[in-house]
Every structure is written in structure tokens, then in C-alpha cells.
């Protein structure tokens, strides 16, 4: 996990890594988190974790974003973790996806952060994907609107790393915020609505294609 200070609108020098108390190795590890060995930094909006047709462990980010065999660092700002935890209480499929996403992110990070190993023989081939949770620095005051806070953390990350950050979202408003902050934006098509349920609790039958006689 990494702690990153700084606020959108401040000069890059203000976007600094805050070393956890007593951790003298932090400077070296912060470079490994966001430095030269990683090519693409990606932030998924909360709605991607909740509504994408594929769960995180099945999501091929390289293929989804057209990044080929590049290495990807998926960065999860703490505000997104908090939104997912809150969504766990809503019930239904959204609650399941939120709980699953938080648990899976935590498990991957605790195991070293590798979400997906590079496989250049796959179809399509892809590079390594690693996950990092971006913790709020001590004393950090969040912006009142979570979308603004997510964009702000992504901007601070870009300033510190010297690399562009891609923000992936289903939401048009979030995409507008991110573009205004000079982030790279990948706007996903809205997911299909969930199937309607019949009064008895089952799902409504889907239409069948007509067969020719």
C-alpha cells in the first residue's frame, strides 16, 4: 500500500509520498509502486467494480483498454474502498459485488499485489497487472464530493509519478470531471439493465431467436 499527499491544483512538488511512521524503506518502495518499472497507471471508478459484466479477477484490463502487452498498475484510492464498503450494505447484486471487490483487492494486496501474471502466449496476450491501494496521508481532508476526491487522488498520483493516469468509468459526469483535470479517460458503455424478475421470484424468460422451417 502507498500513501500519497498533495491536492489537485497544487504544483507537482506538493504531491509527495508521506512515509508511514518508522518506515525507513518507504522511499525505495514508493518508487517501485509508481516509478519507471510500471508503464500504465489505471484507476477504476467505483461503478466499474459494481457494474462491469466481469468481476475484477476476470477483467482483462489490457484488452479492455487496448494496452496490449504493457504492464498495468491498478491503483485503488482509499475513497473507492470506502464507497465499496458502504455499498455492501445496500443489498442485492450490488452488495455482493461490493463485498467481493473489497475482499478480493485486500487478498491480492496482502499476497503481494499481483492481480494477473504476464502471459504473452494468451489470446489476446497481456502483460502483468498489479494492484496497489492508495491510502490517505495522515491529516488528509477529503473533498465533499467523492467523484472530486477520486479525481483529485488520480491527479496527485500523476503529478508524483510523472506518468499519465487513466480513469475508467461508466459515468458521464465522472468522465467530464476527469477530462477537466487533464486525466486520460476511458468511458465504458453503460452495462445492460438486470433481467426483470417475475412475481414468483424467477427471471422473466428471454426472447428466443426464430428458427426457419
Q: Is the pLDDT of residue 149 over 80?
A: yes
Complete DSSP assignment for 14-57 = G--BPPPTT-TTHHHHHHHHHSTT--EEEEE-HHHHHH-SS-GG
Residue/partner pairs of 11-20 with CB below 8 Å, 24 or more apart: 11/159, 12/159, 12/160, 12/162, 14/159, 15/156, 15/157, 15/159, 15/160, 16/160, 17/160, 18/137, 18/138
How many whole angstroms separate alpha carbon 198 and alpha carbon 188?
A: 30
How many whole angstroms separate alpha carbon 43 and alpha carbon 30?
A: 17
Structural contact between residues 152 and 7, judged by C-beta atoms closer than 8 angstroms: yes
How many whole angstroms separate alpha carbon 102 and alpha carbon 107?
A: 9
pTM of the entire predicted model: 0.75
Quick one: pLDDT at residue 133?
96
DSSP type of residue 58: G
Q: Write out the three cell numbers for 18.
A: 508521506
How many whole angstroms separate alpha carbon 121 and alpha carbon 74?
A: 22
Higher pLDDT, 137 or 179: 179
* Nearest CA among 121, 125, 130 for reference residue 63: 125
How many whole angstroms separate alpha carbon 198 and alpha carbon 200?
A: 5
Q: Is the pLDDT of residue 13 over 50?
A: no
Q: To which H or E segment does residue 114 belong?
A: strand 114-116
* 87-107 pLDDT per residue, tens: 998 888 889 999 999 999 999
pLDDT confidence bin for 129, thresholds 50/70/90: very high
How many whole angstroms separate alpha carbon 62 and alpha carbon 72?
A: 8
Q: Where are the domains of the chain?
A: 37-187
Quick one: pLDDT at residue 202?
52
* 173-182 pLDDT per residue, tens: 999 999 999 9
Q: For 37-187, which CATH superfamily applies?
A: 5'-nuclease (3.40.50.1010)
Q: Is the pLDDT of residue 53 over 60?
A: yes
Quick one: pLDDT at residue 194?
61
- Cα distances (Å, whole numbers) of residue 40 to 136, 166, 204: 22, 8, 42
Provide the percentage of residues in the chain whose pLDDT is more than 90. 52
Amino acid at each position: 500500500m502507498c500513501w500519497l499527499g498533495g491536492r489537485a491544483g497544487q504544483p507537482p512538488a506538493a504531491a509527495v509520498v508521506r512515509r508511514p511512521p518508522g518506515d525507513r524503506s518507504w522511499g525505495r518502495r514508493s518508487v517501485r509502486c509508481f516509478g519507471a518499472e510500471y508503464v500504465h497507471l489505471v484507476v477504476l471508478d467505483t461503478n466499474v467494480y459494481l457494474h462491469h459484466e466481469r468481476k475484477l479477477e476476470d477483467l482483462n484490463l489490457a484488452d479492455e483498454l487496448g494496452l496490449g502487452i504493457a504492464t498495468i498498475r491498478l491503483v485503488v484510492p482509499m475513497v473507492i474502498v470506502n464507497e465499496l464498503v458502504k455499498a455492501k450494505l445496500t443489498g442485492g447484486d450490488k452488495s455482493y459485488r461490493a463485498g467481493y471487490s473489497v475482499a478480493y483487492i485486500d487478498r491480492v494486496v496482502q499476497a503481494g499485489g499481483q492481480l494477473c501474471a504476464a502471459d504473452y502466449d494468451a489470446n489476446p496476450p497481456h502483460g502483468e497487472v498489479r494492484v496497489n491501494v492508495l491510502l490517505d496521508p495522515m491529516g488528509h481532508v477529503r473533498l465533499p464530493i467523492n467523484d472530486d476526491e477520486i479525481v483529485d487522488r488520480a491527479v496527485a498520483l500523476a503529478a508524483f509519478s510523472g506518468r499519465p493516469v487513466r480513469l475508467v468509468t461508466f459515468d458521464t459526469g465522472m468522465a467530464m470531471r476527469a477530462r477537466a483535470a487533464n486525466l486520460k479517460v476511458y468511458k465504458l458503455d453503460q452495462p445492460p439493465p438486470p433481467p426483470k424478475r417475475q412475481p414468483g421470484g424467477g427471471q422473466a424468460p428471454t426472447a428466443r431467436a426464430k428458427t426457419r422451417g
